[in-house]
Amino acid sequence: MAKLLEGSQPNKELLKKYAKLSIAFKIPKNELCKQNGESLFPAVTLHTNLGDIKCEIFCDEVPKAAENFLALCASGYYDGTVFHRNIKGFMIQGGDPTGTGKGGTSIWGKKFSDEIRESLKHNARGILSMANSGPNTNGSQFFISYAKQPHLNGLYTVFGKVIHGFEVLDLMEKTPTGPGDRPLAEIRLNHVTMHANPLAG
C-alpha cells in the first residue's frame, strides 16, 4: 500500500495571515466554517493549470480539518503549490509548499488530530482527505482519490469531495510520472476560490 506522507514545520507568517483573515471576516479564529450556525465556505474551487475542480467541504462533520483547509486556502498558502505525488488508480497528493512531500504545516503551526467519522469513507472517486504520516499527524497536505480506497478508511480524515471538474481529475490521473510517483509534467494549484454556496459558480 502506498504511504501518504506529511511533514510539519511551524510557519509564523501563515499564522499572522490567518489572524488577519479572521479579523477581516469579523469572526473568531475557530469559527471560519460557521457563522450563526451556517457554513461560510462549504465549497472551494481549485484552479489548476489543467482546469478547475470544485469541492464540497464537510464543515459540520470534521470542523477541525475543514477549518484548517479553508484557512490555508483563504490565506493563499496553497497558491502556486504543485501536486508532488500522482498514482494512477489511487490518488493525487498536494498541499506542500516545498513541493517535496516533506513540508507543510497546519494553521496552528503543529500537527493536529484525526477526525475519523463512520459516515465519511473513501468510497468514491474524488474524495478529499488529509495526508498524514501516522495517527494524529495532519498538517497541510491533502489528497484526492481516483477510486474507492476502502483500505484508507479509519486511517485518514475525509474532509470533502469533488462535485465538479471530474474531467480535470481525469487529466491529472493520465499525467505520466517518474521516480517517487512525481508527475513528469507539472500539475500546479494556481489559486483557490471560496464559495458560500456549493452550487454557486
pLDDT of residue 147: 98
**pLDDT score of 74:** 87
Q: List CB contacts of 165: < 8 A, sequence separation 6 or more.
A: 45, 46, 51, 52, 53, 54
Give the pLDDT of residue 16.
Answer: 56
Which residues of the chain fall short of a pLDDT of 70?
1-41, 196-201
Is pTM beyond 0.85? Reply is no
- The residue ranges of every structural domain in the chain are 42-195
Core vs surface per residue 177-201: b (16+ CB within 10 A) or e: eeeebbbeeebbbeebeebeebeee
Bridge partners of 129, per DSSP, are 143, 158
Q: Which CATH code fits 42-195?
A: 2.40.100.10
Task: Look at residue 127 in the predicted model and tell me its pLDDT.
Answer: 98
pLDDT digit string, tens, across residues 140-192 = 999 999 999 999 999 999 999 999 999 999 999 999 999 999 999 999 999 99
DSSP label at residue 168:
H
**DSSP letters for 81-122:** EE--EEETTTEEEE--TTSSSS----TTSS-B-----TT--S
Write down the pLDDT at residue 151.
97
